Amino acid sequence: MRSLCTFYQEKIYFIIYSFLFLSSFVRMMSVSNDRITTRCEFYNQTMCNEANGDGGRSCTREEECEAQGDGKRSHCYVVWKGDENGNLNLTLKGCFLNNEDCYNKTACVERAQKPKNSYLFCCCEGNMCNQNFTWEPAPTEPTPVKAVNPVSNQMDNIYLPIGIVMIAVLLGVIGGFVVYWLYRRHKHVFNELPSMEPHPRPPPSPYLDLRPIQLVEIKARGRFGAVWKAYHKTEEVAVKVFPIQDKQSWLSEQEIYKLPYMDHPNILQFIGVEKRGDNLQAEFWLITEYHERGSLCDFLKAHTLTWLELCRIAESMTMGLMHLHEDVQGKLSDQLVKPAIAHRDFKSKNVLLKNDMTACIADFGLALIFYSGKSCGDTHGQVGTRRYMAPEVLEGAINFTSDAFLRIDMYACGLVLWELVSRCTAQDSPISEYRLPFEEEVGQHPTLEDMQESVVQRKVRPTIQQNWRNHPGLAGICDTMEECWDHDAEARLSASCVMERVIMLRRYQNTSTAMRIENDSPLKENNM
């Protein structure tokens, strides 16, 4: 049996050793401020597929990682797919930004039980450590808990809980200090940059608090920059890169996404923002969910739609627009949770298609928020894409109210409905090549004067083919689009009204088709 003195002596030694260990750990994390360069094997499957006829020489090469300062580290990584037969499909290799999960790993090994989104990921430290990589799932059996022998000494039983509490409190204080210090100095979780700062402060270092995101390929280019397909570990994401001169658009767009109740299935899902680089080389990243089908405009160029697909896209698109336009009231009558928002650049390029053929709305760089009791400010009225501009926008005669801006969006919505119908197989004629609204009337690159003459003065609208009206459902959509692009803004339909009409037309058409099939059935003829 141990004496009480021996018991406390052991506890004191334990506390001292714990403190020395934690202090050494803190010093170890503090010492290395030198910039260490790492070399990794680089591979990009997309770039490799585009390198035709070079025998694969451009597929794999050596890459020197960017030097990381302030105690940061560079790592190497691999992303690949594996099948049941053990075959590997390599996707990406290269340098990886500072991440605690990669610390002190000399081999690139994935230990996850199941691939995420069919992909496997590993990272490691050391020059060219990602040349070889393996998948070794960790065992799932829980580690058995060893039984603790009871202390027989009565006095030890009395003072043991008190000693444990004292040790726990002391270790908690030390551990809290270390965790807080590491959080302040080596924080690796994502930290969003605020859209508005109450007090000016110097800009953050471009190498702090960045997600390890690997840009893969450019999927689209727009007015405010390029949209990249990227990977965050094994997760596909989209990264919209704004150059420094478009920082305000980056701030405006994230302000929209950060409003309450903006998490909606028909609004592009927001992940976060980052600043990369510094001074004139700075870039501003907007990170969102990635959709492989891309924009509705690009999809229609290469595909046609069935009647049900048209309805699915139109319903979800107008549902997202309705959610954007409506304000959400809180439990109290005077409490506004989500204000009404006008998109101001609604078009098929800014509608994305998901894999299930539903739509979500993106690109809020020009969007306008309408807070209750506040004016729109000194916003410029004549913004957006020319061919989608409403007559009142083209002639500079906008009534600066929330309702007026929402009706401008609905004019553009009518043009997008026209694009959907023009590529629908339900029409009783061959499907013509995809064309933008007014492309037949003013060409692919109209000037502002071209659009003013056609839309305002001559009141021209895209041509509705007569054979479109031979299909009852398409005829209803044609009537709806005409009411959306009415020259009189007050006469235009709301987003909720358009959505309800599409739902009604789809149900009516489905019912009519079912009744026709039933009437044409041989069984019914035999029963008569």
Is there a catalytic annotation at residue 246? Answer: no
Within a domain: residue 395?
Answer: yes
pLDDT in tens, 490-511: 999 999 999 999 999 988 877 7
Distance between terminal CA atoms of the chain? 100
pLDDT higher than 50, residue 201: no
Q: Among residues 83, 327, 345, 488, which one is catalytic?
A: 345
pLDDT band, very low/low/confident/very high, at 475 (cuts 50, 70, 90): very high
Residue 443 is which amino acid? Answer: G
Q: Which of 263, 213, 239 is nearest to 95 (CA)?
A: 213
One-letter amino acid for residue 425 of the chain: T
Q: Is the pLDDT of residue 140 over 70?
A: no
pTM beyond 0.75: no
Instruction: Note whether residue 379 is domain-resident.
Output: yes
Give me the sign of the Cα torsion angle 96, 102, 103, 108.
negative
Is the pLDDT reported for residue 338 higher than 80?
A: yes
What's the Cα-to-Cα distance from 234 to each of 132, 310, 380, rounded to whole Å?
Answer: 18, 32, 42
Is 164 within a domain? no
Report the distance separating Cα 296 and Cα 317, nearest Å: 10
**342, 325 Cβ separation under 8 angstroms:** yes
Is 285 found in the same domain as 349?
Answer: no
- Is 111 within the bounds of a domain? yes
Out of 109, 135, 161, a domain closes at: 135
- Residues in binding site: 240
**Of the candidates 505, 476, 502, 513, the residue with the CA atom closest to the CA atom of residue 358:** 502
Domain identity same for 250 and 301: no
Check whether residue 397 and residue 492 sit in a common domain.
Answer: yes
Is the residue at 33 inside a domain? no
Q: Is residue 409 part of a domain?
A: yes
CA-nearest of 294, 358, 360 to 321 is: 360
Last residue of a domain, one of 106, 135, 164: 135
Tell whether 418 and 487 lie within a shared domain.
yes
Which residue has 């052991």 as its token pair?
10
473: helix, strand or coil = helix
> What pLDDT is recorded for position 26?
47
Q: How confident is the model at residue 191 (pLDDT cuts 50, 70, 90)?
A: very low
pLDDT tens digits along 222-267: 777 889 999 988 889 999 999 988 999 999 999 999 999 999 999 9
User: What's the CA gap between 471 and 376, in Å, rounded?
Assistant: 43
State pLDDT tens for residues 38-90: 889 988 777 676 655 554 445 788 888 877 666 778 888 888 887 666 677 88
Angle at 355 between CA 384 and CA 469, to 5 degrees: 65
393 and 246 in a common domain: no
* CA within 13 Å, CB half, 32: 13
Rounded mean pLDDT of the chain? 80
**How far, in Å, are 438, 450, 451 from residue 443 at the CA level?**
7, 10, 10
CATH number at residue 359: 1.10.510.10
Q: How many domains does the chain have?
A: 3
**Amino acid at the residue 386:** R
Which of 110, 135, 160 lies at the terminal end of a domain, its last residue?
135
Judge if 245 and 317 occupy the same domain: no
363 φψ region: left (φ > 0), alpha (ψ -120 to 50), beta (else): left
Query: What is the C-alpha to C-alpha distance for residues 200 and 489, in angstroms, rounded to an integer?
Result: 42
Output the pLDDT for position 144.
Answer: 57
Q: What is the pLDDT of residue 74?
A: 83
Residue 37: band (very low, low, confident or very high) from pLDDT cuts 50, 70, 90: confident
Residue 202 has pLDDT above 50, yes or no: no
d(CA 462, CA 452): 15
- Domain of residue 369, residue span: 296-514
Residue 84 has what DSSP assignment? Answer: T
Helices (H), 389-442: 391-394, 402-422, 439-442
Binding positions for ATP are: 240
Greatest mean pLDDT among 151-165, 324-338, 403-417 lies in 403-417
